[in-house]
Chains A and B, each alone.
Chain A
Amino acid sequence: MRRKVARILLITIPLLALFLLPPGSFATVDISPLCEKHGIKGEDLTRLKGLYGEVVESGVSEEELYRFFDDIISYGLDCRQLSRVLEKTLRLKKEGLPYRPVFRKVREGMAKGVPPGKVVDVTLTWGKLLEEAAGVVRALEEKGFSVSDREGAVILVAGYLSRGYLPDEIVERVVTRGVKYAGFSGLEAFLGQGGQR
């Protein structure tokens, strides 16, 4: 009896371990050497590896993520800043929102020579605007407008929000004046005219 139990355990424990290991345990590219090269070790490294793995598991291409991660860590983002960017990416991806604008905003800050802290702050703000913009696009769809390119519409609306427009204001203007006369000329390219006026 004991022998049978031992055999069952020998088979089930590895299988359980395979499925119960924390997310990211099987990220195939090890970022440890990259992190250690930039002085990130110990708990910070463990946390980053876990987050990195979660982002990969959420569906972001590992090749794309590694390239991005390599660039931003080389630019001088510290562990906390890297974690915040990865968390925002993960959140957007899980919500079904475009995550690439976040990557692009970081790269834009790098190209413009902005300090890492500021790059991350602006990127996270941009991420928040994208989430709000998704709500605006959803609201317009509920009002009967067709969306030909959701990602494009979300990015464009996020741009309007960054100019100081409020989400409800955008919806109201588009609904009452129509897409063409709402004052958001770019939206014409992405919103169908068949909505309510």
Chain B
Amino acid sequence: MRRKCTRYEGLMERYLTGEILPDERDDLEKHLSLCPDCSRVYRDISGVECALRTFPGKMVDPPPYLKTRILASIEGERKSLWAFLTRTVTAFAAILAIFLIMAVYGYLTRPSSPPSPPVAGEKAETGTKEVKIFFYFPDARTVSITGDFTNWDPKGLPMKKTGKKGLWEIDLKVKPGVYSYNFIIDGRLLVPDPQAPEQTPDGFGGMNSILLVPKGDVS
């Protein structure tokens, strides 16, 4: 069979089944009369077709339940596919819901800002009172004050010299309350305030001075 004859193969099948168009039929018949290869192929195909038609077998009707079974099986497959999709979607929705709930909870309970170290001399908040503290220590080169109001910052708040020799002072802004404090002499030594009205053991073997800031008038 030549290469150009390939298009006649499809025509042959349709010719045998009677589905060919008149123009195509004329064209095919003309070609079969001229082309020995295609003519041989056509004979082979039509021979098989003829043999099948004349096969001495008995026609068997399908059992009546076959169609029902096939349809039920198809329906079952459809249903199981639908169920699988439903389960999957539900599971994803549930997981998504969990993440959403946790995300909302986390957002609502988030900390306001990352912690930062306390700063000595931080600007006083509202509702504070001014307290002036003096300390006499003539031999000191530097004097600082530390205590509950500085969160016991080891450096403390530096005190400044007054006009009088050996006398140091500082203005504090603190909220009303009770504060323990000490002075830091030359960056190392912690000593209590001898002028403080109250002193109490610090539990570590030393003493703390007590600063009382009542809610009434400024001390």
Contacts and interface: CB of A to CB of B under 8 A. Distances in A.
Binding partners A and B = yes
Contacts of A28: 106, 109-111
Interface string A100-117: 010111011111101000
B28 interface: no
Given A14-B97, A28-B111, A122-B203, A190 B105 contact: no
A11 B97 contact: yes
A105 B198 contact: no
B138 to A, nearest CB: 24
Contacts, number: 111
B152 interface: yes
B206 A112 contact: yes
Interface in B179-219: 180, 190, 197-198, 200-204, 206, 208, 210, 212, 214-216
A73 interface: no
Given A111-B153, A118-B204, A67 B118 contact: yes
A151 interface: yes
Nearest to A189: B214
A26 B106 contact: yes
A190 B198 CA distance: 14
Contact of B113 (A63, A110, A118, A162): A63
A10 B94 contact: yes
B152 A14 contact: no
A29 interface: yes
B73 interface: no
A186 interface: yes
Given A28-B109, A126-B203, A148-B215, A186 B178 contact: yes
Contact of A186 (B94, B118, B210, B216): B210
B91 interface: yes
Nearest to A14: B98
A105 B90 contact: no
Nearest to A105: B203
Chain A to chain B: the 7 pairs with minimum beta-carbon distance, closest first: A122-B203, A189-B214, A159-B200, A107-B152, A67-B115, A111-B152, A10-B94
